[in-house]
Amino acid sequence: MNQRVALTPFGAAATGSVLVPGSKSHTNRALLCAALAEGTSKLSGVLFADDTEAMLEAVRSLGAEVVEHRSELILQVTGLGGRLRFNGSVINSRSSGTTSRFILPVLAAGRGPATLDGSEQLRSRPFAEQISALRALGCDLRETRAPGELPLDIVADELAGGEIEIAADSGSQFVSGLLLAAPLYSKGLTIHLSGKPVSRPYIEMTVKVMEDFGVNVEQPNESTYVVHSGKYRATDVDIEPDATAASYFFGAAAITHGRVRVEGLHKQSIQGDIQFVDVLQQLGAKVTWGDAFIEVEGDRIRGGSFDLRDFSDTVQTLAAVAAFADSEIEIKGVGFIRAKETDRLAAMTSELAKCGVDITETANGLVIRPDKWLLRGGVIETYDDHRMAMSMSLIGLRVPGIEILNPDCVKKTFPDFFPCLEHLRPRPQQRSKVVAVVAIDGPAGSGKSTVARRLAADLNLPHFDTGAMYRAVGVAALRAGVDVEDADGITKLATEAEIEISDRVFIDGVDVTEEIRTQEANQLVSVVAANAEVRRVLVPRQREWATGLGGGVMEGRDIGTEVFPDALLKVFLTADLSVRAERRFAESSGLTLGHVSEDLKRRDEVDSTREDSPLLVAPGAVIFDTSGLSVDDVVSQIATMFRALVDD
C-alpha cells in the first residue's frame, strides 16, 4: 500500500476528456435488485471498486449466481426470485455503507440465522434508526458489540412488513434499504417519513432502479412510499458514470481555469450529484450540456451560499473549490455528513486549515472565507475516507507541497483516480509556438527578484524585473524634483525617460541599480505603480521586451493578470508577513523590524486595492508560499513545472 502521494501543481489550465467509472450508487442498487430477481440480468458499465466488491460478495453470500466480465465492465446475475434461506451466513460489508444498509432489511425478509458485519470503520457508523425500524416491524436481531452498531445477528422469519414511520434525516441509505427489501415482505411496506429527507435524489434513484426491475413504488405524497409484495424481474441495465466522481474533474476545471469534459453524463441523469455542475455555473463557470457529455470551463470563482442537502457527497469538492474563490462561500444543509466514513465537516475544516484556508464549521455546514495569498502546502490526513483524498488533491493542482496520506483509500469507489487526474495535466508545447513567459507576481518581500533571477539562469531564459521599471520612474522623479503625487508629471517622466534594465538598471544612461533599492525608493514604488497612465506607458514596453525575445522570466505585481495573462506559467509567490519583514529587515539599514513590517502592511494595502491593475493572484496561477523554503527549493520546483510545459 502506498503511504502517501505528493502532488505537483499543473502550472496551467487542466484540459481534456475523462471517462469516470460507473456510479457506485447505481451499481449497488442494480446488483442487489438483480440478485433478488427471477431470471438473469445483464449489468453494463458497472463499477469494480471496494464498495461494489462488497455488494458483489454479499449477493453471492445470499445465493445469487454472478458471472463477471471485468474487462468489459459487465456482470451477468442470475437471481434468487426472492427466496432467501440462511444457515448461519456471515456477510462482511467491508467499509461499504450502501452494502450494509441495503442488505440488512433484505436479510430480515429471509429465513434462518445470519450475521451482518463490516470493517472497524463501518462498525463505528450508526445503524440505530434502521435497527429500530426493523424491530418495530417484528425482526429478531441483536447487536453483539454496541447498541446501534455492527455486528448484528439476525434470526430471520420471513418478515411480514406493514407500515412504519421513520425520521427523514436518518439517511437516504436507511430509507433506500427498506424500499429495496419491501417487495420481499408478505404484506409489502408503507414508509412514512417524518421531516424533510436528506439526499432525496438517492431515494429517487432507488425508486427508479426498482421500477427498472419491475417493482412499482407508489408515492401518494412526498413523505410516503408504498411498495406492495411482489417480485423483481430480470432486466438489462446500463450503469451511468459516477456523477460524484465527475465532480472532482469539474472542480479541477474551475480551480485551474481549465476546460474538462466528462463523457457519458447528461442533464437527465438519475444521480442527484449532477446538481454540483449547477453550483459551479452559479460560481461563474461555463457549462456545456451535451447529449452524452458535460463540459465545464473555469473562470473566476465567485462566492455564494449553497444548500447541498440533496447532493452532500460533493460537499468536500465544493469546499476545495471554495479555497480559490474571490469571496466567501457557505455550504449548508449537510450537518448529517458527520456520520459518514468520517466526520466530514470536522475533517475538511482541519485539513483545509492546514493549507491556510480560513474555514469555520457550523452546526449545519461550512463557511469558507478564501484568501489565496495565504494558501500553502501541507500533509493531508484522509481519515480512511476516499472523498477526503480526492477532494483535497484538488488543492495540489495549484499549491505546491500537498501530500495525501493513505491515497489507496480511493479504491473504495475510484481505484484509478490519481492517474485520471494526471491525465488532465496540460501537455507540453513547442517553445517556437508560444511566448514562453514565466510570470512571477507577489507582494513585497516574497522573494520575487531573487527567485526570478535564479530561475532565469536555471532555465537559460532572459530575466526582466518589471518592478525595477516603476522604481526607476520613482528615482527619476526624485532626481527631477517631481512630486510622485503629480500624476501628469510622473507620466511625462515615464514617457520621456530612457530606462534600460538588464543586470544593471540605467536611467538616461546613469546607473541607478543600487539607488532603486533604497528605502526612499521603496516608499515611492507603490504610488508610481498605482498611476494608471504610467502603467499604460510601461506595460506595452514590457510586452514588447518578452515578445521580442521569445519569452523569459518576468516579475512584478501584475504580470499574470495584466501584462501577460496568457503566460505559459503563472506563479504567485507569497510568504508570512513576519518572514517577509525579516527578509526586508536584513536588506535595510537604520530601520527597526517593526518599521519594516508596518511598511510592508502599507504596501500590501496600496498594491492590492489600487484601482488600476491591483495585486491579485492571477487566474490559474500556482500559489507558492516560500516561508519555510530555501531559494533552491522554490527555483527547482518552478523550473520542473516549466519544463513539463515545454518540449525541449
d(CA 381, CA 383): 6
Distance CA 167, CA 195 (A): 7
| Domain 429-647, CATH among 3.40.50.10310, 3.40.50.970, 1.10.1740.10, 3.40.50.300 | 3.40.50.300
Alpha helices in 213-327 (DSSP H): 243-256, 276-282, 315-322
53-101, pLDDT tens digit by residue?
A: 999 999 999 999 999 999 999 999 999 998 999 999 999 999 999 999 9
Give strand ranges (E) for 4-99.
4-6, 15-18, 40-44, 65-69, 74-78, 89-92
Could you give the maximum distance between any two Cα atoms of the chain, in Å? 99
Are the CB atoms for 539 and 560 separated by under 8 Å? no
- What is the number of residues in the chain? 648
Is the peptide bond preceding residue 151 cis, with omega within 30 degrees of 0?
Answer: yes
Q: How many Å from the N-terminal Cα to the C-terminal Cα in the chain?
A: 35
Architecture of domain 24-238: Alpha-beta prism (3.65)
pLDDT of residue 430: 62
- Residue 388 has which C-alpha cell? 477526503
Distance from C-alpha of 539 to C-alpha of 408, rounded to nearest angstrom: 48
Binned average pLDDT, 10 residues per bin, the chain of 648 residues? 87 95 98 98 97 97 97 98 93 96 97 96 92 95 95 96 91 94 97 91 97 98 96 98 98 98 96 97 98 97 97 98 98 95 97 98 97 96 97 98 97 97 88 80 93 95 87 89 89 88 86 87 82 89 86 91 93 95 85 92 89 91 95 96 85
Contact status, residue 504 vs residue 453, Cβ threshold 8 Å: no
Catalytic residues: 313
Cell of 539: 506595460
- The pTM score is 0.91
Q: Please give the CATH number for the structural domain made up of 4-20+241-422.
A: 3.65.10.10
Specify whether the CB–CB gap between 97 and 173 falls below 8 A: yes
Query: According to CATH, where is 3.40.50.300 located in the chain?
Result: 429-647
For residues 308 and 345, the answer to whether their CB atoms sit within 8 Å is no
| Start-end of CATH 3.65.10.10 domains in the chain | 4-20+241-422, 24-238
